[in-house]
Chains A and B, each alone.
Chain A
Amino acid sequence: MDAPFLQAITTRFGSAILKQTEFRDELTLQIAGDIALDFLAFCRDECGFDYLLDISSLDNFGIEPRWEMVYELYALSNGAHHHLRVKYTVAENTKAASVSDLWPTAGWHEREIYDMMGIEFSGLADHRRILMWEGYPYFPLRKDFPLAGRPSEMPDVAFTDRAPLAGGPFVTSPTSATTVDREPRSREIL
């Protein structure tokens, strides 16, 4: 891809870009975690990525480092319409850098990531849960948390119970083996 912003990025951050992939005009850059905030600030200020489309996170359960942050950036002004995906890994029990000073919309996205995954952000002003309630003890979208939920109780606020799943989520795994391997009877986590 011969976008001008890519030239500027590789000139400035050459060594910190660990991997660059392109799939059907979608550009993804895997970067080192320690310069992530500078990298994203550079993208916003110098490369014109003024619109943060989304922040997402991955749980690589069983692999170190466990968390991976994914930022979708978009350049709106002057009809540029450039799209960039930035990924970096975060080790468990370390904090990721908050971009809510660069893009104010990041505040709610990072609150959701904290609520669902438990990744903490340094520099996030409002570090509260957003979907579940204050005091809910678990992080529901982690890979070691069951879909059915776990019982919890906060008097006068909310309670949760385990939902009856009759043996767990019946999902298929992508494999060319037989149906017995492809569709296990139960993938239940308790």
Chain B
Amino acid sequence: MWNSRRLVLAHLWFAFACFGAALPLGEWQMFIRSPLHAWISNPEWYYRSVTAHGTTMAYVFPTLVAMGFGYFVTEEALKRPMVGLRWAWLGFALVVIGTIAAIVPVALGLASVLYTFYPPLIGNPFYYIGVVLVVVGSWVWVALMSVNMYRWKRDNPGAPVPFPMFATVAGSYLWGWTAVGAALELLFQIIPVALGWRSTIDAGLARVFFSWTLHAIVYFWLMPTYIAYYTIVPRAIGGRLFSDTMGRISFILFLIVAMPIGIHHAFEDPQVGAGFKYLHSVFTAIVALPTLLTVFTICASVEIAGRLRGGKGVLGWLTALPWRNPVMLGAALSFVMLGFGGAGGLINMSYQLNATVHNTQWITGHFHLIFGGAIVIMYFVIAYDIWPHLTGRALESFGLIRAQLWTWFVGMIVLTFPWHWVGILGMPRRMAFYDYTDPAIATQAAWVTMSVVGGAILVLSGVLFFIVLVRGQTAPRTEPATYRFSVAVRPPRALPAALNGFGLWLGLMVALTIVNYGFPIAHSLATPGTAVPAIKVGERW
């Protein structure tokens, strides 16, 4: 590491500290709305907790992981000091200040609007301003990723951009553009109302803007995970990346088709025309393509490792894999959760099937399985993999690491499978109180209790994670070997310009966004009488 070691550590420590604080809140929510606990009589506490949990887990935690890992990749992949270190610290400071500004009003009960904002609910302006600061801080990162890649390209004309950097820049561009939707909603719709400059808000338009962010943000969360699949997993298990080109095409496809598809989150919204819902459905289905490409490439890369380790036959390479290696284990568990979560996602994106699960607990189960499960388990793996290079101290608690990954996996399955199931039984989401004495839902009590147990296992796993890191911090100093990313079977020596830059793909991304969002937004703006009175949260009058 040249000079960003402290920067990366600061990002990751703050990210995981936020994660550690928000994790027990989730379990508390599951517990108090389960049959194990009497009704707390005040739903405000519940929604306050949901807002804090969601804001921290969805905005702060993954953004910081992506930023920290991105800075790490920049130096390690480009093999030179990062440009703009001071700017990076400024971005970090903005994220920290934004997080504090957002969480204080939430903790005081002044902004219990959930992390998805839900206008016409309006909370304390500092909550929204805090979220904007987090986004602005992350945009500094987006700019730095771009600057570093283009400076490197300028200094190495014609040379292929190292794949980890290429993928990281793709992720940063995806975030830069997807955050624009929520930023527009916050800056032009919500914050003016929160500050008292306006008293009405077009909630339908706000939902369209938010859907712009809401789906692609999931792919932004996914980016560090996918980058780890491609650039860490094959190396860590002694294999080779099956195809560098396939990797580049996957990330390019994510950039284009992850963005203009968010209206499938608004299938039940009357202000959006059915034609646009269909259009977004089609592009949502195409996202399966880069996912399947990734699954194929990574499975092939892992098979290479298995065969290099002496595995023979159709399935013999599987048993030859280093299953006790935390990276191998974490990636495999992540893939299982990605498979189940992806199958659930196919249901959500279908207009007709969505109608049966819309606004039920199925949805919350789904995004916990995908994000909390498949994605976050790889955040742990990334931390385990790069921590020794950041601290100069080895993580030696391999047994504990494996226990942590297994408990996270088991906890997530026990949490989310019953959660999906009660959703199918019709249990609505976003409610603080369920009367399990009523025969209509009495049969759901056991399933919800099971989810509480799953959540408790996750909290235990979270504790194990911190024990591993803290033990690592107190281990004796060693000089870590040079960090390496996976090497492709055929490392690219020359690439077509299209696979070595983003101009074309950014053009397509923006054009598709305009095609898919332009009319619904313009129509809402041009239709009179769409604004409704804002409802201030946490204000008694």
A binds B: no
